[in-house]
Amino acid sequence: GSEKTTAEQASAAKTEVTPPAKKVKNILIFGNSLTAGYGLEPAEAFPTQIQNRLDSLKLPYKIINAGLSGETTSGGNSRIDWVLRNPVDIFILELGGNDGLRGIPATETRKNLQAMINKVKTKYPEAKIILAGMQVPPSMGKKYADEFRVIYPELAKQNNAALIPFLLENVGGEVKLNQKDGIHPNAIGAKIVAENVWKVLEGMLENEV
């Protein structure tokens, strides 16, 4: 019986030194229908898929899905103050796609994205920022598509933010991976989008496993 007592003592000692529960950090994804999961089951949207992965890795992060279908950068800039009432540790900015589809001048989109980044930096100077790169379909014209594409890498560089080169990489324009509208990823497409985000996000997580 003495062995058991030793084991019990050891386990009691072990319990005492368990560190307090880790403080959960917030990952805020601020975006449009792509973040909101338009046309998908709630569990299929890419933010939920990322949360599931964080949970399975037992990483102390909580995703806040602040996606609003139809949101433009101008709308986002008006809404962001309200959303920033929650503490933010990692901020993912996923806006601009609707500007592109409406042909809003690239200078305007850039200005709004920068304004949102500024608001995050002012309120949460320690927050890490990830910019989700967007592109517009070639049908919008080459000149516009080119002007639009460079907004994201340039802003990421200027703001020392991480960049997801193109959020819809390997999904945009692939019929089988999109819903009937050809714009919004279907469930399979959303998995690939989650992967595109994860590749960049993973390096910013503090792996306190």
Half-sphere exposure of 186 (CA within 13 A, CB side): 11
Residue owning tokens 């608001």? 119
Sheet with 61-67: list strands edge to edge.
Answer: 61-67, 25-31, 90-94, 128-132, 162-164
Residue for token digits 């964080």? 54
| Catalytic residue selected from 33, 78, 89, 99 | 33
Question: Which one from 2, 11, 56, 181 is the annotated catalytic residue?
Answer: 181
Q: Report the candidate in 106, 101, 99, 153 with the shortest Cα–Cα distance to residue 130.
A: 153
Give the separation between CA 209 and CA 129, rounded to whole angstroms. Answer: 22
Block residue for tokens 């959020």? 167
Task: State the burial class of residue 145 (Cβ atoms within 10 Å of its Cβ: 0-12, 13-18, 19+).
Answer: middle
Quick check: is 33 catalytic?
yes
Q: Please say if 55 is a catalytic residue.
A: no
Question: Can 184 be counted among the known catalytic residues?
Answer: yes
Helix-strand-coil percent breakdown of the chain, rounded to 5? 50, 15, 35
Phi, psi of 37 (to 5 degrees): 80, 40
Active site residues: 33, 181, 184
